[in-house]
Structure 1
Amino acid sequence: MLRIVTFPHPALRYKSQPLRRIDDEFRLTVRRMFELMYEAKGIGLAANQVALPLRFFILNLTADPEQPEQEQVFINPEILKRESVVEEEEGCLSLPALYGKVRRSKKIRVRAFDLHGRQVEADVDGLLSRAIQHENDHLDGTLITDRFDAPVRAATSAKLREIEVAFRKSQTEGIFDDDTAIQARLAALAQHGGILPDVLSEADRQPSTPTPQNA
C-alpha cells in the first residue's frame, strides 16, 4: 500500500534513480500520490517519501484538490542555475510537526519532463523555487534537518528523536518491514527504473473523493 513514510525510513536517504518509463502504472501512482499529499495538507511530495527510489516529485502550491489545474509533475528534474539566497521556514511531510529555517536559492532554472513525457525548462522564484529545491533534495536523500544551522538542529533534536521512535515502533508492530528488507525492495525498484505492478494495492487503485484542504 502506498503511504507517506517518515524519518528514518531508509527510502528517505536513498539517492533516487532516473525514471525510465511513463506508463499507466506510473500515472496511477502519481494520482495516488496527489491524494496522499492532499490528505496530509501538503504542497509537494517526492517519490521516495512514498518509498519509491525514483527521480520524480509532484507539486500543487495551493494544496487544494479542487484546483487540479495547479498540479505539476517533475520527472528526472535538474536544477541548472541558482541565483541569490533567502532563508525561510520549512516543514516536511516526512518530518511531521518539525519546522526550521532553511537557506535556499531565491531563483532557479529547472528542467524536467512532465507527465506526458515532454521536456520543460523554466526560470522560477518564490514559493515554487523553494518547493522544487525541497523536493529535489529528497531525491538526493537530503532532508531539511541536514540544512538546519546548529542552533535550529539542537532546538529540533527532541522532535526528530520522537519521530524516529514512532517509526521504529511501527516496524516492531509489522506496519513496516525491517531496514534490510526495505533496502532490498528499494534496490529492486531502482534497478527496474519504473513502477512495479505490485506497488499499488487494490485500495490505492480505487479513486477517492478528497475534500479541499488548507495549505
Structure 2
Amino acid sequence: MTSLIAVEKQKLENPPLKLHYLGDRVLRQPAKRIAKVDDSVRKLVKEMLQTMYSSNGIGLAAPQVGVNKQLIVIDCEPDEPAKLPLVLINPVISGYSKTLCKGEEGCLSIPGVYLDVIRPEAIEVSFKDEQGRPRKIQANNLLARVIQHEMDHLNGVMFVDRVDNDLALTAELQKHGFSVNAVKPVA
C-alpha cells in the first residue's frame, strides 16, 4: 500500500522543486487528472518527496510546487526511515465519517501559520499508486486530516479558507507577512 519510490528522508540544501506561497495564482487553480502513470510521474513523486522532507512537511500536493496535476505525497512519520510514504494519484474521497474533529493545521505554502480546522475524522479514499494500480484505503485521525488538506490543494482550496476564527486567522497571517485578502473562505 505504500510507495516503492525510495527517497532518503533528509533535508536537501537545494530541494529539486520550488514551493509556491499563499497569494500565488497557481495555488488557486483546479489540478488536472493524470492520464497515464509513467516515469515522468514517478520522477515528479520523487522530487516532491525530496522537497517535502527538505521543508519538514508531512504532505505535499503538486500545485504547491507549481505543477497542475492531481498528485499528492504524504508521510505522517518522516522520522521513521522504515515507514514508506503514501502516493495518491487522482485521489477521490468516496466516504466521510459523520464525526467531525478540530485539529491544528499548517501548510508548507503558508510557513509559520498554524490554525485549527474542523474536518471529518475518518475518510475512505480511492486513488492510483505510483505504479498506476487502483487502491482504496480507510484513513482516520492525522492521515485523514492530511489527505483532506492535500486534496483541498487539488481544488485550489487552502486550509486558511476553512478557518472559522477570523481574529486568529488575521493575526497569524499578518504576523507572518501574508495578506488576508489571499484567503477565499469556503461555504
TM-score normalised by L of structure 1: 0.71
**Poorly superposed stretches of 4+, deviation over 2 Å:** 64-67, 150-157
Could you tell me how far 1:65 is from its partner in structure 2?
Answer: 7.2
Asked if the contact 1:37–1:45 (Cα under 8 Å) also holds between the matched residues in 2, the reply is yes
1:124 aligns with 2:146: no
1:74 aligns with 2:108: no
For residues 98-177 of structure 1, what are the structure 2 equivalents within 5 Å? 98-149=113-164, 150-159=166-175, 162-163=177-178
Q: How far apart, CA to CA, are the structure 2 residues paired with 1:137 and 1:81?
A: 15
Q: How far apart, CA to CA, are the structure 2 residues paired with 1:30 and 1:18?
A: 15
1:20-51, CA deviations, whole angstroms, 9 ceiling, x for partnerless residues? 12121211111011011001011010000000
1:116-135, CA deviations, whole angstroms, 9 ceiling, x for partnerless residues? 11111122101110000000
Asked if the contact 2:102–2:118 (Cα under 8 Å) also holds between the matched residues in 1, the reply is yes
Instruction: Give ranges in structure 1 of 5+ residues lacking alignment.
Output: 165-215
Give the AA of the match of 2:153: H
Corresponding residue SS for 1:57: strand
| Counterparts in 2 of 1:154 and 1:163: CA distance versus 1, 3 Å | closer
Q: How far apart, CA to CA, are the structure 2 residues paired with 1:132 and 1:104?
A: 11
Instruction: Give ranges in structure 2 of 5+ residues lacking alignment.
Output: 1-15, 180-187
Q: How far apart, CA to CA, are the structure 1 residues paired with 2:40 and 2:71?
A: 14
Corresponding residue SS for 2:87: strand
TM-score normalised by L of structure 2: 0.82
CA RMSD of aligned residues (A): 1.5
- In percent, how many aligned pairs have the same letter? 34
Q: Which has the higher contact order (CA 8 A, sep 6+)?
A: 1
Which structure dedicates a bigger proportion of its chain to helix? 1
Could you tell me how far 1:62 is from its partner in structure 2?
Answer: 0.9
Task: Name 1:174's counterpart in structure 2.
Answer: none
Larger Rg: 1
